[in-house]
Amino acid sequence: MAVFGLIDGNSFYCAAERAFAPELRGVPLVVLSNNDGCAIARTAEAKAMGIKMGEPWHLAQRRAECKAVEWRSSNYPLYGDMSRRMYEVLAARVPQVEPYSIDEMFLDLTGLPDVERLCHRLRDEVRRIAKIPTCVGIGPTKTIAKLANRIAKDDVALNGVCDLRGEADRTRYYAELSISRVWGIGSKTAATLQNLGIVSIADFIKLAPEQVRDVLTVTGARVQAELRGQSCLPFTLMPPPRQGIAVTRSFGQMANTWGQLREAVAAFATRAAEKLRAEGLEAGHLSVFAHTNPHNGDPWYSASRAAQIEPTSDTLALLSETMRLLHACWRPGHRYFKAGVMLANLTPARQQGQMFATRDTVKSARAMAALDAVNARFGRGMLRPAATGTAMAWKSRQAQHSPRYTTRAEEMLVATAF
């Protein structure tokens, strides 16, 4: 029988910050989204103060009790590297690890002896080496392992590990847990089920599979089978092929003029083209959008344009298409707050020249390789089209960015000699 584990970092971004900043230990801490907008990670102390996931930080800060809360801008170079460390600690100790998201990984524990003790040890070692406190859920399917992980997080008496391989244990939890706690059951689905009188997981698994399929389609039927202990979601060791590449951001400062908006969107298109080339792809469809701030009382204006394009990954070609589409979106008199560039119809880049190409694709590939090489050596954005501007007022606000301790030599941890 298959055995899945799910190991998940507790307040992962906060834990990564605390790993290098002992002054943040034991105090309430939140990490904010891009542009210092909303709380996206909270320590237990911050949760206890009533700070909600996704809560706008400028509103929370007005509350008297939140004055003492420490906050940091998001530091993705650090979080990415700490996630890599967590993965490598695990990969050296179990046969297969699937990095499901930056802070949670599925483990293949099939056929291993003394799984519970192993999971306690994995927790200890991830904590000690990768500096991330975690919880582990164990089950015969991914969905059960995920549920077990949530139980381990909520019940401190379990010491961070919850094993739901045994049917009797599952029956006990299924009777008391709401179906809304299950992975893949959103709030809408839970409401639909509630209308049918189905509240607990126990209620849900008693339903006939055909009935579940009728109400919740094949996806819901799969959730039910997984909860019953039939594994339907196998290990995935390759990320799914990309459907699209999007670079969208809200601005640090609103864009009032065509020049400001153009610079921001040009930078997004440049970044999207870089991502495309890093994966060896070309895009055949391009879309652009821009809108005003829906929350600050400004008149709402939102526009988008899209076009089929000759497949390319050339920054300059994508830039000129982007500017053409953006100009059609632009109306003067608005304060633009957010914009983005999306690339779709992705295909592997061809090495040879194309028969009907209107550009010299070989020359373009050479120019782009040189551009990427310069930026790889001297840092992202060192060499870039002049259209992206020099003021870069659109750049996101990151007022409390911690050092990139593990990826920049000039920002490494400093320890005082004792």
Instruction: Provide the binding-site residues for another protein, judged by CB under 8 A.
Output: 20, 22-23, 25-26, 84-86, 88-89, 125, 128-131, 405-406, 409, 412-418
Q: Which lies closer to another protein via its Cβ, residue 59 or residue 370?
A: 370
- 233 close to 141: Cβ distance less than 8 angstroms: yes
Over its C-alpha atoms, the chain yields an Rg (Å, rounded) of 25
In whole angstroms, how close is the CB of 414 to another protein at the nearest point?
Answer: 5
Q: Which lies closer to another protein via its Cβ, residue 310 or residue 411?
A: 411
Q: Which lies closer to another protein via its Cβ, residue 356 or residue 418?
A: 418
Q: What is the Cα–Cα distance from 31 to 206, expressed in whole angstroms?
A: 41
Which position has the token pair 């290098």?
20
In whole angstroms, how close is the CB of 86 to another protein at the nearest point?
Answer: 8
Sequence length of the chain is 418
- 37 close to 132: Cβ distance less than 8 angstroms: no
- Nearest alpha carbon to residue 411 among 81, 137, 117, 144: 81
Q: Which lies closer to another protein via its Cβ, residue 117 or residue 128?
A: 128
- Nearest alpha carbon to residue 7 among 141, 110, 153: 153
In whole angstroms, how close is the CB of 24 to another protein at the nearest point?
Answer: 8
Q: What is the Cα–Cα distance from 279 to 242, expressed in whole angstroms?
A: 9
Q: Which residues contact 317 (CB under 8 A, 6 or more apart)?
A: 309, 310, 359, 364
Q: Which lies closer to another protein via its Cβ, residue 81 or residue 116?
A: 81
- Nearest alpha carbon to residue 324 among 287, 276, 282: 287
In whole angstroms, how close is the CB of 70 to another protein at the nearest point?
Answer: 12
Q: What is the Cα–Cα distance from 377 to 338, expressed in whole angstroms?
A: 30
In whole angstroms, how close is the CB of 224 to another protein at the nearest point?
Answer: 38
Q: Which lies closer to another protein via its Cβ, residue 124 or residue 214?
A: 124
Q: What is the Cα–Cα distance from 226 to 160, expressed in whole angstroms?
A: 23
In whole angstroms, how close is the CB of 26 to another protein at the nearest point?
Answer: 5
Q: Which lies closer to another protein via its Cβ, residue 46 or residue 177?
A: 46
